[in-house]
Structure 1
């Protein structure tokens, strides 16, 4: 055995949603006793494709003594699941610059008469993590939209504090209000966040990946619905998978609340465009 990077699953944080499993084409994770488990060090390449798909932040990368990752053994497991899984694995290796494993995978496929390769990966990972939410990307060379740069925008924020851990659900500005629950990063990507989305709403912000105490968030959202009797709840999140947990928290709170209110989900691209908008 050698010391290398490998995933670690915190069973206390894992809620058994299973989102990590289809995003581990190597087959290193399985659901056992309603929890995600790393079934074999042999199949885990330590690149972390599964990290960004865990809304609970239960999966991390650690460095420890582990059986060396074996690409050919992994491919024996992968080919059983068909063409789409094979392709996902090849893209995974290519996007992380794992040329050695990529060549080994192609050799394995060639020996079995399977002709498949990935010329250009969908994403190229940078930085220290495989999580899509922390992948390094540089937009500076792209032409920015001109927009209307003149004049001063007036802030539409009508309260303080705004962090969900700090707000009081019974504060007067939440009473019978239209509430915007926004992921932290949204306001930095949407150019006219204040004018187009915050105006006329009370605000709470949170990060479903990095914040602790998510059970407190559920109780606070529930209190906003039942005690503050808010009118509507709009949840704005980024397109990265780890951000979707905020919608899940809002839905869980709504399911346990006595009142029923309209909840809208809005997903924003990394360049500030609204990709989808729907009532849940």
Structure 2
């Protein structure tokens, strides 16, 4: 399927694009089923927040309409929406009147082993650390070199995902997922005010947990808390929830709270 650039089929991009030159932009990865983009409102809400924080001028209504139109043509798969600040000449200073460039790409849904969801996965403890930068924390911006370096640390089939900490040693997230712990029935996920990506499935799980009356906490997580956890799982908006069964010599079982939330997210992604 053709990519779209600013609403038109295209397979090329200007060499002056600031997304290419500086990673100046944002992106969303959206699962599409039966022509419908899933969790669209959460994706668009995060995108709008990112545009506000990066002072990126973008027509949110136009973005919505293009995503819906592209998803209808794609049918089934993964839609990647990229916003860049558009073209500029040499130098970091941006043209203040330039509107965001809109790029839409489609691909097939990834095929993951059923065992990932059923039996759980092993996490690779990555040496690459996430830099602490509150101005960019939570955003799904185009600067993903830390994730690229972390993902290059393992190539075996045993590990399905990596665990990332920040430069102070706090447990933050997976390479392409968010992380949750369960301890004595309480749900815990990392504070992302310094670094990390505020995933849309993470937001959905927090909302579902609150509505179900599940005790939850967003806070700093030390490595010792990971060791003491009763259950651990990772999540994203494409596969839902994978229980974590092992990491760096630690082992867990897929417990009842993980399974309960996994059922809820599976229903959202199968809808």
TM-score in terms of structure 1 length: 0.24
Kindly indicate which of the two structures has a greater share of residues assigned to strand: 2
Q: Give the structure with higher Rg (CA).
A: 1
Relative contact order, CA 8 A, sep 6+: which one is greater? 2
- TM-score, normalised by the number of residues in structure 2: 0.24
